[in-house]
Amino acid sequence: MWVAAALLVVVVGSVAFNFLTPWWFGEVASNWGSIDDTVLLTFWVCGVVFILIGLLLVFSVYKYRFRQGTRARYEPENTRLELWLTVGTTLGVVAMLGPGLFVWDEFIRVPPEASEMEVFGEQWRWRYRLPGTDGKLGTTDIGNISMRNPFGLNDDDPNGFDDVLIQSAEIHLPVNVPVKALLRSKDVIHDFFVPQFRVKMDLVPGMVTYFWFTPTKLGEFEILCAEYCGSSHYLMRGVVHVDRPEEYQVWLQSQPTYAEMLAAARPSSRDIAAGRTVAETNGCLACHSLDGSQVVGPTWQGLWGRSEKLADGSIVTVDEAYVRESIVNPAAKIVDGFAPVMLAYELPEDDMQTLLAFLRSTVSVTSMPAANGLADVGEALVQSQGCLACHSLDGRKGVGPTWQGLWGRAEDLTDGSTVVVDAPYFKESIELPNAKVVKGFAPVMLPYQFTDEEFEAMIAYAVERLAAP
């Protein structure tokens, strides 16, 4: 009797708690209200089953309670009961799964007008990539990922240079515009989840997953990682800002493209030269060679980005933080095989910046003052400025036209005219690269400024070593 009463209290209390609790869905902020509908349908079906089973238990416990002298009847089968259970269970499963299949069919069918957004996850942060003016995302390869190229874009794909790169955990989207989210992971499985949007999907290493949604409400919505991804999993949080279209465009125009990021990371020739002067003035080159030879300290040939083994057995990558520390506190991290003899230096910030620019440059540029001629200096300049990342020397088509046989060659332009590569055109193509765009190539090059002496050196290099056959 008391057991039946207790079971009845559990059933009634559970139903009452459900209706009185404040723990219900928050307001949906996307087009996926149908997901709420399917979840609620499942909830109601399961709730009704819970109530029926609970009441059946109450009835059974009460009706078949112990009575003195009562004996149990042997009834191994009950066809009617089994039929009701089979039919009822089938209807319940169909009621729960059927609508979900229709929602899933809609979930995987991306509207043709949807814009693309790439979500890039890694331990433990979010990054985002948006298509540029061409409306296309460039291709990527996980093997290309580096400090220079954190998204792993393919430099031989011209569609990638205008891609907008968002390095923060915050992303902006326009309201009422469908978005296809392409999901990539750098390391382990993550899960991109915006609770108010109701959609979520795993980011799986080695493949690109996707889902789509349409933000329908203005505001800020939290991004979570819904898949445990390591000790700092809790740090993978971000914010989606849903803006009016005009506000979104203002924000979008303020974000850097891949081409702009490359240009910003590339030191100018003036900074490199000033940095070398700082190194010479402070006696750095008395202890650090530029040609790979071992002197008092480690060589600076190919220094930036190099992994150095330290005296304590650990490994450190040569970056800005390490260089700064090595200057102000040189005894903190001693490279294996070298004595701790360097004195601490305090450099003005301007000198530090130019020295860092010098160290970021290639060995070809570090040897510029020792060049035997203008062509050598010009070759060092084009290497240091990243020209050969977009222009091949062997005839292969890259982001820009090949430089094989460049000087004196006739180039067909996008406007239908033809131009011969000479000194005025060469200089104009560097200072105003989009004024005359070669046919078959995208106008993605950024303008550069050089001194007259630097232009003379690069022209000498082109005349002597890039002349048309």
Instruction: Tell whether 47 is covered by a domain.
Output: yes
- Phi, psi dihedral angles at 241 (to 5 degrees): -100, 115
Instruction: Tell whether 20 is covered by a domain.
Output: no
Rounded CA separation 158/32 (Å): 35
Name the burial class of residue 133, with classes exposed (0-12), middle (13-18) and buried (19+) by CB atoms within 10 angstroms of its CB: exposed
Same domain as 442, residue 386 = yes
Q: Among 333, 366, 399, give the residue marking a domain's end.
A: 366
The contacts of residue 216 (CB under 8 Å, 6+ apart) are 28, 29, 30, 31, 175, 176
Boundaries of domain holding 398: 372-465
* 381-403: burial string, b at 16+ Cβ within 10 Å, e else: bbbbbbbebbbbeeeeebbbbbb
Tens-level pLDDT at each residue, the chain (469 residues)? 778 888 888 888 888 887 787 777 778 999 888 888 888 888 888 888 888 888 888 888 888 777 787 777 787 888 888 898 898 888 888 877 888 888 888 888 899 989 999 999 988 889 999 998 888 898 888 888 775 678 888 888 888 888 999 888 889 999 999 999 999 998 899 999 999 998 889 999 989 999 999 999 999 999 999 999 888 888 888 899 999 999 999 998 888 888 877 766 555 656 777 888 888 888 898 898 887 788 889 988 878 777 788 999 888 888 888 899 999 999 999 999 899 999 899 888 888 888 888 887 643 333 334 334 677 777 777 766 667 767 888 887 777 899 989 998 999 999 999 999 988 899 899 888 888 999 988 887 777 777 777 788 888 888 888 887 6
Same domain as 207, residue 277 = no
Rounded CA separation 213/417 (Å): 45
Rounded CA separation 205/83 (Å): 48
pTM, rounded to two decimals: 0.53
Instruction: Tell whether 319 is covered by a domain.
Output: yes
Rounded CA separation 196/240 (Å): 10
Q: DSSP of 325-336, one letter per residue?
A: HHHH-TTSSPBT
Residue bearing tokens 């460049």: 406
Residue 304: asked if its preceding bond is cis (omega within 30°), the reply is: no
Same domain as 250, residue 134 = yes
Same domain as 413, residue 342 = no
Residue 210 structure tokens: 């996707």
CB distance 276 to 205 below 8 Å? no
Same domain as 435, residue 409 = yes
Same domain as 288, residue 152 = no
CB distance 386 to 266 below 8 Å? yes
Same domain as 125, residue 255 = yes
Rounded CA separation 154/160 (Å): 7
Structurally, how many domains does the chain consist of?
4
- In the chain, count of helices (H) and strands (E)? 12, 14
The contacts of residue 388 (CB under 8 Å, 6+ apart) are 382, 403
What is the layout of strands, in order, in the sheet containing 164-166?
164-166, 125-130, 115-122, 179-185, 209-213
Same domain as 309, residue 197 = no
> What are the distances in angstroms from CA 424 to CA 225, 437, 438, 458?
54, 15, 16, 12
Same domain as 343, residue 356 = yes
- CA 189 to the chain's CA centroid: 15
CB distance 208 to 196 below 8 Å? no
Assign residue 454 the CATH number of its domain: 1.10.760.10
Name the burial class of residue 461, with classes exposed (0-12), middle (13-18) and buried (19+) by CB atoms within 10 angstroms of its CB: buried
